[in-house]
Amino acid sequence: LVDPVDPWVQPFDDWWLDVVQRYRRDWVVDVATVLDKVGSPWVTLPVRAVAVAILLLRRRWVQLSAFVTAVVLSEFAIGPVKAWVDRARPPSLVETSGASFPSGHAIAAAVTAFALVAAFLPRGRRRLRWAVVATLFAGSMAWSRTYLGAHWATDTIAGISFGAGIAILSEVAWEEGRRRAALREEHLDTS
């Protein structure tokens, strides 16, 4: 269980907050604020809706199922985990609400980016390159949230890990389901 008042990760979080505050510059705050907006529901929800529409139009049912599963699971998990851990936020430059852990922006960025890569790109080198882009995007979201003081560093690290993990596991589960269904179908055809 995590102690929300004095978690064991707090020394690292305090160190990172000190670094951020020491090197905070107005123009970098502006960049972080733009990223804060990009990670908001005002941007992530339309991106997700467009992805769902494209997958529906292309009749990519397994990819659609994996994408929707990842997004829904991540969204439903954020509130209960925040309530359970109930960690206070650091001093913030932007308006925040609710508990600090985990970072909803980091989860949303990671789950959306990784689920998009999984839904639209076949496994291989090209997907790997885009997975690096997804990692950089999620990392930039994590950085912006800590730079603005909206979250502790470990809140964002956990958010990225959770979001990426849910996206990857959703794809693996749906692809495995498709593989098993194909094997059952093949077995029935040969019987």
List pLDDT tens digits, range 31-78: 999 998 888 888 999 999 999 999 999 999 999 999 999 999 999 998
Question: Around Cβ 6, how many Cβ atoms within 10 Å?
Answer: 7
Question: What tens digit of pLDDT does each residue of 145-185 get?
Answer: 999 999 999 999 999 999 999 999 999 999 888 888 888 88
Cis preceding-peptide flag for 4 (omega within 30 of 0)? no
CB under 8 Å to 134, separation ≥6 — which residues? Answer: 110, 113, 114, 116, 117, 164
